[in-house]
């Protein structure tokens, strides 16, 4: 068996090697309409190697069928190569510290419940607020949010099987990103490797402005993204 790795082809698909399990999960919401968790929909047949569509136009989704060549797909990778810790803003609460690298955001909206994670960490000495903040950070598929225990200086992270999840956003009635879990190496089309992380989301609609990462373009227009950034005071951020 070859080592587990995701290789990005220039203006082409993701080549997945090493018999990495592939799942589809659906985002579910609570009674208030807030995204709450992801639940299994299906597991795909195990394969040693497979190719996942990156342009969003394949007629054999989630797999690539070569149509990227016919449509002239531009898959140029533009994401910053700086380590997460150099990108992240830090927000302090009584018991919790939040690191937030906005440019990773895939807009799955898990951080908005109960007033939002920033307000929750401000009152993280309250047990209920603390627990909700931990839940929100740990389910953030993109890894934009990492929550730290100030007493131990350790992050709250799930221990994931090295696996890939195709996210279905039922609330927005669309297919979401490719959720890569468990520190799987991702190799750029130029042969270099992105920082290995426990949680990242890759674009599979072909529209992201932060390729190879998802930026929410599968459901958000440019104006919606700008409105979201303004709401959170992030419209002047450069990443």
Instruction: For the chain, count helices (H), then strands (E).
Output: 5, 13
Residue 181: beta bridge partners? 163, 199
Task: Say if CB 202 and CB 180 are below 8 A apart.
Answer: yes
Tens-digit pLDDT profile for residues 81-137:
999 999 999 999 999 999 999 999 999 999 999 999 999 999 999 999 999 999 999
Tens-digit pLDDT profile for residues 148-202:
999 999 999 999 999 999 999 988 899 999 999 999 999 999 999 999 999 999 9
Tell me the three-class secondary structure of 187-235, residue by residue.
ECCCCCECCCCCEEEECCCCCCCCCCECCCCCCCCHHHHHHHHHHCCCC
């Amino acid at each position: 068996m070859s080592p587990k790795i995701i290789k990005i082809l220039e203006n082409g698909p993701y080549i997945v090697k090493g018999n990495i399990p592939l799942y589809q999960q659906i985002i579910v919401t609570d009674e208030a309409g807030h995204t709450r968790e992801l639940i299994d929909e299906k597991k795909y047949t195990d394969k040693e190697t497979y190719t996942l569509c990156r342009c969003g136009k394949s007629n054999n989704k989630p797999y690539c069928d070569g149509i990227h060549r016919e449509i002239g797909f531009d898959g140029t990778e533009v994401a910053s190569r700086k380590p997460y810790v150099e990108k992240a803003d830090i927000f302090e609460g009584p018991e919790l510290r939040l690191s937030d690298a906005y440019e990773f955001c895939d807009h799955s909206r898990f951080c908005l419940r109960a007033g939002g994670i920033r307000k929750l960490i401000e009152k993280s000495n309250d047990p209920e607020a603390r627990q909700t903040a931990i839940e929100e950070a740990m389910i953030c598929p993109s890894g934009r949010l990492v929550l730290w225990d100030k007493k131990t200086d350790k992050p709250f992270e799930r221990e994931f099987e090295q696996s890939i999840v195709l996210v279905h956003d039922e609330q927005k009635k669309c297919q979401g990103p490719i959720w890569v879990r468990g520190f799987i190496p991702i190799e750029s089309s130029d042969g270099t490797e992105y920082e290995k992380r426990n949680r990242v989301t890759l674009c599979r609609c072909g529209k992201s402005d932060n390729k190879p990462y998802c930026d929410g373009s599968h459901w958000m227009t440019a104006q919606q993204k700008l409105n979201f950034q303004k709401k959170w005071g992030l419209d002047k951020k450069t990443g």
